[in-house]
């Protein structure tokens, strides 16, 4: 038990410090490709930090030997978007509230209409994905191709409609080359990839410990996998958001979460649809409902360019509602 707690805390600390190297490296990669802050966050950073949770789904649905093991992959594909749509945005909001105490404004400094378009894309994909979970038919697995194609189309749109390049941002020196005023693409990619490897290994350890601690504290394996594991696998995105908010770059923080949500709505879902019957039970349907409620609220605010810091922080309450429902479902 004490060893698990130690590994849990150690893995969390390693993930945070590795994310420091990752966000620093990915900004320089975006700089070399002349990408704007939004595309750097939604494409480069999101794809990198989404690897741990996508790996969880891949390992569960491809190598799982029992229906229960494959269900973990389906749970990850449904739980990840819920965590991002609620807790991840709430963390950004709370961090900005803290920054407001030092004089920062309560207005979100980001391209809100563009973020609204991301939420609209996500809603359409997610409704279709949940709808598939209510139906059973022989050719359902082929529909996974649609999800992969949709993500490719989203990436094309992000790269073709990008704003000004990252030259306008305050780039900190590359951590591997602190004295180099303009480090090469090689060093930028090397730092980014090394940080991703460390994040992936530490995330794997973190997920194992949080599942073990959940069961040790009396939570069922299903509850731990559905409620706790998605929080653990989304930790890199949350850490990245905290780091970027601390640096005054909420555009990158929000874009990272938005891009990660698009990945979670498509790639893990495609894997689940390819390799499992993709039929959703009660808790997964409630997770989907809470996700859609959160996204609808975010979309309305972003669309009207009226997203405030307190509203962004408040969306995390929906995850509390879901946790209360799971407690009632498994223990009532």
Contact between 290 and 324 under an 8 Å Cβ cutoff? The reply is no
Tokens 């005023």 sit on residue: 181
Q: Where are any strands of DSSP class E within 195-249?
A: none
Rounded mean pLDDT, 29-52: 76
> Average pLDDT, whole number, for the chain?
83
Taking only the tens place, the pLDDT of each residue in 117-169 is 889 999 999 999 999 999 988 899 999 999 999 999 988 887 777 655 544 45
Contact between 264 and 78 under an 8 Å Cβ cutoff? The reply is no
Number of domains in the chain: 1
Taking only the tens place, the pLDDT of each residue in 97-111 is 877 654 445 777 777
Contact between 31 and 165 under an 8 Å Cβ cutoff? The reply is yes
CATH number assigned to the domain comprising residue 93? 1.20.1420.30
pLDDT for position 220: 63
Alpha carbons 64 and 272: distance in angstroms, whole number: 12
Instruction: Report DSSP letters for 157-176, one per residue.
Output: HHHHT--SBGGGS-PPPPTT
Give me the domain span that covers residue 54.
1-164+173-331
Contact between 56 and 46 under an 8 Å Cβ cutoff? The reply is no
Torsion of CA 69, 74, 75, 77, to 10 degrees: 140
List of long-range contacts for 155-160, beta carbons under 8 Å, 24+ apart? 155/43, 158/38, 158/39, 158/42, 158/43, 158/259, 159/35, 159/39, 159/43
Alpha carbons 316 and 41: distance in angstroms, whole number: 21
The pTM assigned to this predicted structure is 0.83
């Amino acid at each position: 038990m004490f060893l698990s707690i130690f590994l849990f805390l150690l893995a969390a600390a390693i993930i945070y410090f590795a994310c420091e190297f990752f966000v620093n490296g990915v900004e320089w990669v975006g700089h070399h490709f002349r990408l704007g802050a939004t595309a750097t966050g939604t494409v480069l950073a999101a794809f990198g930090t989404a690897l741990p949770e996508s790996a969880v789904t891949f390992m569960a649905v491809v190598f799982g030997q029992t229906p229960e093991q494959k269900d973990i992959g389906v749970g990850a594909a449904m739980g990840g978007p819920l965590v991002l749509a609620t807790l991840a945005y709430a963390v950004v909001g709370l961090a900005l509230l803290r920054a407001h105490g030092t004089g920062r404004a309560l207005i979100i400094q980001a391209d809100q209409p563009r973020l609204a378009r991301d939420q609209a894309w996500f809603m359409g994909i997610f409704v279709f994905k949940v709808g598939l979970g209510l139906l059973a038919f022989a050719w359902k697995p082929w529909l996974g191709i649609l999800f992969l194609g949709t993500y490719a189309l989203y990436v094309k749109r992000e790269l073709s409609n990008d704003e000004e390049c990252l030259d306008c941002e305050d780039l900190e020196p590359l951590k591997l080359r602190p004295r180099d005023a303009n480090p090469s693409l090689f060093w930028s990619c090397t730092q980014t990839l090394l940080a991703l490897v460390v994040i992936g290994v530490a995330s794997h350890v973190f997920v194992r410990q949080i599942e073990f601690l959940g069961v040790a504290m009396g939570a069922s394996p299903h509850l731990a996998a559905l409620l706790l594991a998605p929080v653990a696998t989304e930790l890199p995105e949350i850490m990245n958001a905290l780091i970027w908010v601390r640096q005054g770059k909420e555009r990158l923080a929000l874009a990272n979460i938005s891009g990660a949500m698009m990945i979670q709505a498509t790639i893990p879902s495609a894997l689940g649809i390819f390799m499992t019957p993709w039929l959703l039970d009660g808790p997964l349907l409630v997770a989907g409902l809470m996700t859609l409620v959160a996204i609808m609220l975010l979309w309305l605010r972003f669309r009207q360019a009226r997203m405030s810091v307190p509203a962004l922080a408040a969306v995390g309450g929906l995850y509390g509602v879901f946790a209360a429902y799971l407690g009632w479902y498994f223990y009532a």
